[in-house]
Amino acid sequence: MSKLIDGKAFADRLCDTLSSEIASLKQAHQLSPCIAVVLVGEDPASATYVGAKVRRCEQLGIDSRSHHLPATTSEADLLALIEQLNTDPEVHGILVQLPVPKHIDSNSVINAINPDKDVDGFHISNAGALAVGQNNMVPCTPLGSLMLLQDELGDLSGLNAVVVGRSNIVGKPMAALLLQQSCTVTVAHSRTKDLPAVCREADILVAAVGIPHFIQGDWIKPGATVIDVGINRIQDSETGKNRLVGDVDFAAAKDVAGAITPVPGGVGPMTIACLMYNTVRAAKNQAGIKD
């Protein structure tokens, strides 16, 4: 049986540290970190994620300003709100929950955010900075995944890392971070030939495809460290109830992997903790306070 990587416990520890830092920023610098969270439309999964983010802010003493806009909001109106938040000195971080409705171009929205307030790290200049090793705001899910890997394995240098998935939110920034740690990185995707054989080479396997139970137990190298980024809602065949599962067939993988993140309780809590981390860093940067 593999070791379970407890992302919830790691996230709680990170948030405890941030909570103390926020208290001292308020006391010593009269600085109150603040994030604006924008949700457009009624997607229930997005509403759940936004709710979890806002609750974590409250726990840590980060001010959050929620902007819930109707699904019919025009792109121009959304861009106008972002511009207002960009110029508001009290707002240090701006998060627009994705996906946005189809009539809005998500790249235009992401690139309208001031890169220094882009706590998601999705702005084209933050993506470019990451690609050339001049990290500014780093996307939360890959950052949290890297923290778990370093906690588990220490130095990652020379390890074979396979990232399955090439999204701008997870796959590409994850690959960039692992490359910065001197891993030998392969980015696999839907067109990869003999994906099982590619995965079997991985000392570190990051699954970010968004397909429940996609990665099979016999695709995993014995002893590998597996990071399961998937959050998929499926109906349990026995109970008929909805439950969350990852992109990895956990029941099979847990007998092969050396260590594995569970779903829920693995990467998910780290994504939110890293959003808090980025918000505190953004606030300090904007106030001219050194890390």
Q: What's the closest the beta carbon of residue 74 comes to ligand GUN, in angstroms?
A: 20
Q: Which long-range contacts (CB under 8 A, 24 or more apart) does 42-47 make?
A: 42/71, 43/99, 45/233, 46/97, 46/98, 46/99
Q: Who's near 164: CB < 8 A, 6+ residues apart?
A: 171, 188, 189, 195, 199, 205, 206, 207, 208, 209, 214, 215, 247
The SS3 assignment for 190 reads coil
| Residue 229 engages ligand GUN in binding (rule: CB under 6 A) | no
Using the rule CB under 6 A, give the single segment among 70-78, 91-99, 204-212, 236-244 that binds ligand GUN: 91-99
| Residue 169 engages ligand GUN in binding (rule: CB under 6 A) | yes
Q: What's the closest the beta carbon of residue 201 comes to ligand GUN, in angstroms?
A: 28
53 is catalytic: yes
Q: How is residue 61 annotated by DSSP?
A: T
| Residue 97 engages ligand GUN in binding (rule: CB under 6 A) | yes
Q: Measured in whole angstroms, how far is the alpha carbon of residue 94 from the centre of its chain?
A: 15
| Alpha helices by DSSP H, 34-170 | 44-60, 75-86, 106-112, 124-131, 140-153
| Residue 37 engages ligand GUN in binding (rule: CB under 6 A) | no
If you write DSSP's letter for every residue of 203-238 in order, what string do you get? Answer: SEEEE-S--TT-B-GGGSPTT-EEEE---EEEE-TT
| Residue 52 engages ligand GUN in binding (rule: CB under 6 A) | no
Using the rule CB under 6 A, give the single segment among 70-78, 96-104, 159-167, 190-198 that binds ligand GUN: 96-104
97 is catalytic: yes
134 is catalytic: no
Q: Pick the catalytic residue from 116, 118, 120, 247.
A: 120
Contact pick of 5, 25, 62, 95 for ligand GUN (by CB under 6 A): 95
Strand-pair partners of 66: 37
| Residue 39 engages ligand GUN in binding (rule: CB under 6 A) | no
Q: Pick the catalytic residue from 97, 221, 249, 284.
A: 97
Q: What's the closest the beta carbon of residue 96 comes to ligand GUN, in angstroms?
A: 6
Positions in the binding site for ligand GUN (CB under 6 A): 95-98, 120, 140-141, 169, 271
